[in-house]
Amino acid sequence: MATHTMIAHSSSSALAASSPLKETLPLFTTRSLTFPRKSSFSRFRLRFFAEKLSQLDSSNGCASLQDSGEHLTEEHDTKEESSTLSITVVGASGDLAKKKIFPALFALFYEGCLPQDFSVFGYARTKLTHEELRVMISRTLTCRIDQRENCVDKMDQFLKRCFYHSGQYNSEDDFAELNTKLKEKEEGKLSNRLYYLSIPPNIFVDVVRCASLRASSVNGWTRVIVEKPFGRDSESSGELTRCLKQYLTEEQIFRIDHYLGKELVENLSVLRFSNLVFEPLWSRNYIRNVQLIFSEDFGTEGRGGYFDQYGIIRDIMQNHLLQILALFAMETPVSLDAEDIRSEKVKVLRSMKPLLLQDMIVGQYKGHSKGGKAYPGYTDDPTVPKNSLTPTFAAAAMFINNARWDGVPFLMKAGKALHTRGAEIRVQFRHVPGNLYKKNFATDLDKATNELVIRVQPDEGIYLRINNKVPGLGMRLDRSDLNLLYRSRYPREIPDAYERLLLDAIEGERRLFIRSDELDAAWDLFTPALKELEQKKIVPELYPYGSRGPVGAHYLASKYNVRWGDLEDA
Ligand SMILES: NC(=O)C1=CN([C@@H]2O[C@H](COP(=O)(O)OP(=O)(O)OC[C@H]3O[C@@H](n4cnc5c(N)ncnc54)[C@H](OP(=O)(O)O)[C@@H]3O)[C@@H](O)[C@H]2O)C=CC1
Ligand SMILES: O=C1O[C@H](COP(=O)(O)O)[C@@H](O)[C@H](O)[C@H]1O
């Protein structure tokens, strides 16, 4: 086994710079309001400082901090001026890079969240000039609604910092050339380098090998953001981790799950741990079931080739929904530090029962015509085999074997080509014992339990469904929502998940990235059922494009005496 690592390849000062200990955050003391080096300091804490200084303006918290130069120490200024950040987007010609990564980087620049001295490199095989890359990127850049005035100038400034290098993913020479170009931009300053692997997973290791051996920073940190999928099962995921760790330390690997960067997912812990009214209810004593629901109103159009190798369980459930579940169900972490939170997530994942085939159902969408328009079936995609059994829909019931959650079904449902697009967490509470008002409900009492809904997207919001009296002389009860709709409460645009996660990676904040033991625990829960599904060649239930999905999902829920909450909203 090769023993090179980015650290081994670097000088001793690089070793120090990339050591986790070096990235430990200095503590805030009231004696002096000294800011630590910004690049090693989480935005989370910078906000804390900023609030202390009453300088947080109405932006997302970065511009005000850049503007607060007079409060920074000389030491900070010197370090900031003498360091550079190079962000290399590997797979720059691809869908994700264009759709999400470049726009997120621009948004960070626009908000003043990137360091003074940064450059962005695109790397891919496609032959492009710097100018062609800039034209490509410029098509997807947008400005925040409330600050449009200087948008064009800002875009120009950003695009001037963007460069392109064409190369093969397995060529050390091509990465050595990239290294030369990066060094030109870095001008001998302390250089921090971030690689974003926006490429298919089969070339992750090649890129990491070439980048680590030939294009890692010699005097600053080098970090690599790895996109999903992290393997197809426990074995392949373990193998990927082993291969990556030949070249990188765990601290250098930032495994991204972009759902963790979504505003409402971030808010989950705040809701739970900062409101006395929720935490006491957060257990089997009061919660009847929890539902994690993801739906898209479009199919796998354009991504059929990728999707067919993975399917909806690996694409959405094993990562996005399971991560939300872990945050929802974990015990209170010792602190908000990344390792404390991630350790609690691992604990709860390891307390879960691996998914059983009898606790899941799978579906696949078929072609459908509606309003004179024909919608294709999954297997109509030319990149998908005609006899594919890959699920585009799945529902599953999972359980946590610990004192808090014993017996509570956690139901997941995820599907493509459904009637609507959305992601939400639904918490259905138990009945009020000996309900005084049993006979005053017009509807079935079973529907009259409280429900807390955290709507991740679209129309981000949190609402609590309660029972109330209908005004009038009679005594009829109704259900209403106490509704925190973000659009009304916070009219400012919510940053995209990729913005938050990119900024965190730049700042070395690992809280929202997946640690390797979390990943192992997540795969252990799904691998046996996935294998059985494939070995037994289970045929998915067909559902029409644009429908509510297979009826099997209702049978699964009713087996655990649950009704899907989203259907009652409809
Ligand atoms: N697109 C999305 O919405 C999402 C994507 N992801 C993940 O992000 C990563 C990138 O996704 P996406 O941009 O859609 O991927 P693409 O298929 O668009 O690939 C990105 C780039 O990689 C190169 N590439 C593609 N296929 C191969 C191949 N077989 N061998 C070598 N190079 C190849 C191409 O660049 P060139 O030919 O110029 O070298 C391409 O532009 C993937 O891991 C994906 O799973 C995760 C969440 C959402
Ligand atoms: O990771 C993925 O996520 C997207 C959905 O992301 P969203 O932020 O638009 O909700 C999904 O379409 C894709 O299949 C999957 O790979």
Q: What are the pLDDT digits (tens) for 85-140?
A: 999 999 999 999 999 999 999 999 998 999 999 999 999 999 999 999 999 999 98
Known catalytic residue: 320? yes
Using most ligand atoms within 8 A of CB, pick from 88, 89, 95, 301 the residue to mutate for ligand 1.
Answer: 95
CATH 3.30.360.10 residue ranges for the chain:
260-428+515-569
Q: Which residues contact 23 (CB under 8 A, 6 or more apart)?
A: 40, 221, 251, 508
Q: Say if residues 411 and 397 touch (Cβ distance below 8 Å).
A: yes
Question: Smallest Cα–Cα separation from 178: which of 246, 2, 191?
Answer: 191
- Distance between CA atoms of 132 and 137, rounded to whole angstroms? 9
Q: Say if residues 210 and 176 touch (Cβ distance below 8 Å).
A: no
303 CA: nearest ligand 2 atom? 14
Q: What is the pLDDT of residue 266?
A: 95
Q: What is the pLDDT of residue 435?
A: 76
Question: From the candidates 258, 320, 368, 431, which is the catalytic residue?
Answer: 320
- Let me know how long the chain is: 570
**Which tops the pLDDT comparison, 188 or 213?**
213
Contact residues of ligand 2, CB 6 A cut-off? 258, 296, 315
Query: In the beta sheet, which residues pair with residue 453?
Result: 426, 463
Q: Say if residues 141 and 151 touch (Cβ distance below 8 Å).
A: no
Residue having the nearest C-alpha atom to atom 38 of ligand 1: 126
**Running DSSP on this structure, what letter comes out for residue 101?**
I
**Which tops the pLDDT comparison, 412 or 74?**
412
> Topology of 260-428+515-569 in CATH?
Dihydrodipicolinate Reductase; domain 2 (3.30.360)
259 CA: nearest ligand 2 atom? 8
Q: How far apart are the first and last CA of the chain?
A: 56
Q: What is the pLDDT of residue 99?
A: 94
pLDDT exceeds 90 at position 564: yes
Residue having the nearest C-alpha atom to atom 5 of ligand 1: 96
One-letter amino acid identity for 360? M
What pLDDT band is residue 54 in, cutting at 50, 70 and 90?
A: very low
Please tell me the number of the ligand nearest to residue 295's CA: 2
204 CA: nearest ligand 1 atom? 43
- Distance between CA atoms of 223 and 331, rounded to whole angstroms? 30
Question: Smallest Cα–Cα separation from 444: which of 435, 452, 453, 455?
Answer: 435
Please tell me the number of the ligand nearest to residue 123's CA: 1
Q: Which residues contact 134 (CB under 8 A, 6 or more apart)?
A: 159, 162
pLDDT exceeds 50 at position 5: no
Q: Is the minimum distance from the CB of 227 to ligand 1 under 6 angstroms?
A: yes
Residue having the nearest C-alpha atom to atom 26 of ligand 1: 200
The least confident of 15-29, 37-51, 94-108, 500-514 is 15-29
Residue having the nearest C-alpha atom to atom 47 of ligand 1: 228
One-letter amino acid identity for 165? H
Q: How far does the centroid of ligand 2 lie from the alpha carbon of residue 535, in Å?
A: 27
pLDDT exceeds 80 at position 315: yes
Q: How far is CA 167 from the centre of its chain?
A: 29
Q: Say if residues 55 and 63 touch (Cβ distance below 8 Å).
A: no
Mean residue pLDDT of the chain comes to 86
pLDDT exceeds 60 at position 34: no
Question: How large is the C-alpha radius of gyration of the chain?
Answer: 25
Q: Say if residues 318 and 529 touch (Cβ distance below 8 Å).
A: no
pTM across the whole model: 0.88
SS (H, E, C) 430-454: CCCCCCCCHHHECCCHHHHCCEEEE
Please tell me the number of the ligand nearest to residue 314's CA: 2
Q: Say if residues 549 and 363 touch (Cβ distance below 8 Å).
A: yes
